[in-house]
């Protein structure tokens, strides 16, 4: 199933480009690592210049540079003092999926069709919802967001694009299950989108009449899962907020570290439309040093699935096991250990098990093995 999905994504990539030469094709190659991945176009717009021109702020001592082996990154060209504002984006430079009607024809316009498609995406695949918006902007010839989108990688080396054998070699059933699930979703969603958009006029088509396939959907989902930040969105009531994913131009060029030298600060009026997002230096940043953010306390499963990399000795990795006496007895039997009896432990064993909280009415049978 997975290899079929992966190979279909691979081959679909090359087929649409020729017939859509007058538009920005929604294609994706599934090769190369992030470190070498080229951008959507050979000479993308100057992102720093665009952010400044559109009302954002970028510290004069910053540039985008090759962050080998992490792909591109944001680097200090000169020392930057602790507490300095590094990047600031006003609300109109935050790319988010908004359900409210846009000025595109009210209830029937392309935005409404996009909302209808997004409604069919399960909550756990939230990245696909914002991915639909990203695809729409990518397909729009004069999109405001093109200078940003043109700087996105052409490919993502995350497991949904791995060849089938490489997926099997992950050797970890829960991860393989997630990859399979995502691949299956992309193939099914492609069919669903084709059937819905088959009856939609060009005027109301969210992708300007272009075909969307599992390859382009996979590209968009990966772009969002590996670059979006979950930030305060709508205010629900009193001081409760709902986090929503947003793409943050330039800020998303910063790579990850559990020992970051900068952090994201969200400034917000009560009206969330007026929010602004800043990156502030948490320490002095020396010349030629990368600006690093902490993407979150994530385990390597999440990093691999959503970002395509893992952290050696990740302190947030853990293995969850169940202390199951019957299973342990069966394992002893299979191993030829005749003397053990986990189901009827002796007194001293019961005492130790109780102290470990593995026996008794309040017993907690989940065992966590932490990395640290």
* Contact positions vs ligand SAM (CB under 6 A): 34, 67, 70-73, 153, 226-227, 252-253, 255-257, 307-309
CA 2 – CA 23 distance, rounded (Å): 30
Least distance between ligand SAM and beta carbon 287 (Å) = 20
Least distance between ligand SAM and beta carbon 70 (Å) = 4
- Give the closest residue to 30 by CA, choosing from 6, 49, 59: 6
Least distance between ligand SAM and beta carbon 274 (Å) = 25
Q: Among all residues, whose Cβ is closest to ligand SAM?
A: 71
Asked, as a colleague might, if the bond just before 69 is cis with ω within 30 of 0, I would say yes
Least distance between ligand SAM and beta carbon 20 (Å) = 25
Q: Which is nearer to ligand SAM, 12 or 72 (CB)?
A: 72
CB–CB of 75/67 below 8 Å? yes
**Residue 62 β-bridge partners:** 76
C-alpha dihedral sign at 17, 18, 19, 21:
positive
Q: Which is nearer to ligand SAM, 113 or 300 (CB)?
A: 300
Q: Which is nearer to ligand SAM, 162 or 207 (CB)?
A: 162
Neighbours of 203 (CB within 10 A): 11
> Tokens 């997926």 — which residue?
167
Least distance between ligand SAM and beta carbon 255 (Å) = 3
Least distance between ligand SAM and beta carbon 296 (Å) = 12
Q: Which is nearer to ligand SAM, 296 or 360 (CB)?
A: 296
CA 96 – CA 142 distance, rounded (Å): 18
Q: Which is nearer to ligand SAM, 121 or 291 (CB)?
A: 291
Q: Which residues contact 251 (CB under 8 A, 6 or more apart)?
A: 87, 89, 229, 264, 277, 279, 293
Q: Which is nearer to ligand SAM, 16 or 225 (CB)?
A: 225
């Amino acid at each position: 199933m997975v290899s079929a999905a992966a190979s279909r994504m691979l081959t679909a990539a090359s087929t649409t480009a020729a017939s859509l030469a007058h538009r920005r094709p929604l294609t994706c190659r599934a090769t190369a690592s992030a470190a070498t991945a080229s951008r959507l176009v050979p000479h993308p717009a100057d992102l720093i210049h665009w952010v400044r021109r559109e009302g954002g702020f970028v510290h004069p001592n910053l540039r985008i540079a090759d962050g080998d082996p992490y792909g591109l990154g944001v680097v200090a060209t000169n020392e930057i003092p602790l507490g300095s504002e590094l990047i600031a984006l006003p609300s109109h430079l935050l790319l988010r999926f908004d359900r409210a009607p846009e000025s595109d024809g009210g209830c029937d316009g392309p935005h409404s069709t996009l909302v209808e498609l997004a409604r069919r995406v399960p909550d756990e695949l939230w990245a696909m919802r914002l991915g639909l918006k990203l695809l729409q902007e990518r397909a729009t010839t004069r999109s405001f967001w093109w200078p940003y989108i043109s700087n996105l990688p052409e490919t993502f080396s995350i497991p949904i694009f791995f060849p089938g054998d490489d997926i099997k070699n992950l050797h970890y059933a829960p991860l393989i299950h997630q990859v399979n699930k995502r691949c299956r979703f992309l193939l099914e969603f492609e069919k669903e989108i084709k059937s819905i958009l088959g009856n939609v006029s060009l005027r109301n088509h969210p992708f300007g009449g272009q075909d969307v396939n599992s390859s382009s959907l996979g590209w968009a989902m990966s772009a969002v899962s590996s670059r979006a930040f979950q930030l305060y969105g709508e205010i629900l009531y009193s001081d409760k907020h709902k986090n929503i994913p947003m793409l943050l131009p330039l800020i998303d060029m910063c790579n990850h570290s559990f020992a970051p030298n900068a952090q994201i600060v969200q400034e917000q009026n009560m009206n969330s439309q007026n929010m602004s997002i800043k990156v502030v230096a948490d320490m002095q940043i020396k010349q030629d040093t990368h600006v690093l953010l902490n993407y979150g306390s994530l385990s390597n499963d999440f990093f691999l699935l959503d970002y395509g990399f893992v952290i050696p000795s990740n302190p947030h990795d853990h293995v969850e096991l169940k202390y199951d006496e019957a299973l342990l007895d069966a394992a002893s039997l299979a191993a030829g250990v005749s003397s053990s009896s986990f189901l009827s432990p002796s007194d001293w064993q019961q005492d130790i098990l109780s102290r470990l909280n593995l026996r008794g009415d309040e017993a907690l049978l989940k065992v966590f093995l932490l990395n640290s």
